[in-house]
Amino acid sequence: MPPTKIPLTLIVAATPKNGIGKNGALPWPMLKKEMAYFARVTKRVPTPTSTSSNPSKAEEDEQAKPLPRNAVIMGRKTWDSIPPKFRPLKDRTNIVISSQERNALSGVTDDVVVSSSILDGLSELEAAVQSGRAPALGRAYVIGGARIYDAAMELQQMKHVLLTRVAREYECDTFFPDLDGSERWAKKERKALEDFVGEDIFEGGLEEDGVKYEFQLWERE
């Protein structure tokens, strides 16, 4: 699939007024269950279903190939915000969007793609897949920061937003576009979210350290 056709999913946490950050960090306390959800979802590759009980030789050959892996697409500041011991994010292909040269970034390993734009990064990943230097692509997740989110939202291939809606306001200096006020985006039912992420979602949301939040799925109309 050409990079310009690869569906993108954006994953973000935001307050009711769409605040997402303050001074380059999250404005709310660390939410361990929310972070665990992010890790599970961005690692989980959708499993293709076969309609035949007797798979063909082509299907068997396909199943014998190395398993696909999801990609996480982030800006340089988001990359730098990840503690060095967790970089690159495990079990995912990391794509870093930066105007800086590869050798100027800290902690970049050989399997990390560094590029100047989202589409160029996907093109470089596709070339690595074709040459056998990277596993096939599962899903592509855009994980921040604000400038990368803004760029991704302008792409026609941006199809889904996984939004963690934090229930209360915090002081923020960085904001995400208002999905509620957009005619292009529709909030889906909990069952659709569960089918998309591949796990059960607790009805009514969760609470950690006094912070209430809810997982949501938004789809482009």
Mean pLDDT of all residues in the chain? 92
**Rounded CA separation 84/75 (Å):** 16
- For residue 52, tell me if it sits in a domain: no
Q: What is the pLDDT of residue 2?
A: 80
Residue 178 pLDDT greater than 80, yes or no: yes
**Rounded CA separation 126/133 (Å):** 10
**Rounded CA separation 121/125 (Å):** 6
Give the mean pLDDT of 22-36: 95
- For residue 27, tell me if it sits in a domain: no
Clarify whether 34 is annotated catalytic. Answer: yes
Q: How many domains does the chain have?
A: 1
- For residue 105, tell me if it sits in a domain: yes
- For residue 50, tell me if it sits in a domain: no
**Rounded CA separation 119/33 (Å):** 31
- For residue 162, tell me if it sits in a domain: yes
- For residue 41, tell me if it sits in a domain: no
Clarify whether 189 is annotated catalytic. Answer: no
Range of the domain at 143: 3-22+69-220
Q: What is the pLDDT of residue 120?
A: 96
- For residue 29, tell me if it sits in a domain: no
Catalytic entry in 34, 162, 163, 179: 34
Residue 88 pLDDT greater than 90, yes or no: yes
- For residue 104, tell me if it sits in a domain: yes
Report residue 99 as tokens.
Answer: 């105007």
**Whole-model pTM?**
0.91
DSSP state of 139: E
**Rounded CA separation 76/114 (Å):** 9
Q: How confident is the model at residue 57 (pLDDT cuts 50, 70, 90)?
A: low
For tokens 């100027």, name the residue: 104
**The domain spanning residue 204 has which CATH number?**
3.40.430.10
Residue 49 pLDDT greater than 80, yes or no: no
Catalytic entry in 8, 26, 125, 162: 26
The least confident of 62-66, 83-87, 163-167 is 62-66
β partners of residue 142 = 10, 73
Q: Could you tell me the sign of the dihedral formed by the alpha carbons of 164, 165, 167, 173, in that order?
A: positive
The DSSP code sequence of 27-78 is SS---HHHHHHHHHHHHPPPPPP-S-SS--HHHHHHHHSPPPEEEEEEEHHH
Q: What is the pLDDT of residue 63?
A: 52
Give the mean pLDDT of 70-87: 96
**Rounded CA separation 172/176 (Å):** 11
